[in-house]
Amino acid sequence: MSLLQIDNLWFRWPSGETALRGVSLTLEEGRSLALVGRNGAGKSTLLLHLNGILHGNGAVRVRGKPVEDWPADELRATVGLVFEDPRDQLFMPAVIEDVTFGPLNFGVPGAEAREWALKVLASVGAEGLAHRAPHHLSAGQMRRVALATVLAMQPELLVVDEPAMALDPEGREAIIALLAGLSQAKIIATHDLDLVLELCDTVAVMDDGRIHATGPAREILSDETLLRAHGLRVPAKIATSDG
């Protein structure tokens, strides 16, 4: 049984704009998939279907069970989504409160939730931020904390939207190393194709709400004709090595 299976998923916004057009994807346990494409391709819209935030026409199954049949809290603990903008998921006065929020809602006793939250913060290199206000953090710090809020729920599938957005080179390298060290299956939506080479074994190219190609990362990212047709460029690491 696949960890995630998407079959012929369509989605139209209330405005009438069709954002997904028959998307089908499968992800096995322990694998990592990059979802790449130009702005407006439908990547973020697709991610929001994976833990039930949006519901389209078609099928999305986690461990063989349709997402609409999962209790919402249980689904969102199993499929952990880290938003492109971490400010969208950090809303408590202090970091420690954001990270304990999920476990407390699942009935974990307060002291245990706090102890676990501190361990998770340490695992993402944010142990010193527990009592800081999230809105006072740097972009890189916020990304670490947002990731910690999701990891605190011990998800089986980690879904991350643009993990390196707005980070300086040092912050980018740190977040890549952090994600590479996590054992969960991953889906990463990104424009950073060099990041894809470091984190993902499979790539799906998305454009105009459709998946146009799927395959091994290096094979897909070496196909200049395919990438250019969908507003992308061969990543520098491949271009340099081929040159």
Q: CATH number, domain at 225?
A: 3.40.50.300
In a domain, 135, yes or no: no
In a domain, 96, yes or no: no
In a domain, 18, yes or no: yes
CA dihedral 54→57→59→62, nearest 10 degrees, is: 10
pLDDT tens track for 131-142: 999 999 999 999
Structural domain count, the chain: 1
The region of weakest confidence among 10-14, 145-149, 162-166 is 162-166
In a domain, 150, yes or no: no
Per-residue pLDDT band for 243 (boundaries 50, 70, 90) equals low
Instruction: List phi, psi (to 5°) of 106.
Output: -90, 5
Cβ contact 50:157 at 8 Å: yes
- The domain in which residue 170 lies consists of 4-85+155-242
Task: For residue 71, give both structure tokens.
Answer: 């209790």
In a domain, 226, yes or no: yes
In a domain, 126, yes or no: no
In a domain, 129, yes or no: no
In a domain, 130, yes or no: no
pLDDT tens track for 178-226: 999 999 999 999 988 999 999 999 999 999 999 999 999 999 999 999 9
- Sort strands 57-62 and 4-12 into parallel, antiparallel or unpaired: antiparallel
pLDDT tens track for 74-112: 999 999 999 999 999 999 999 999 999 999 999 999 999
Entry pTM: 0.93
**Bridge partners of residue 216, in order along the sequence:** 202
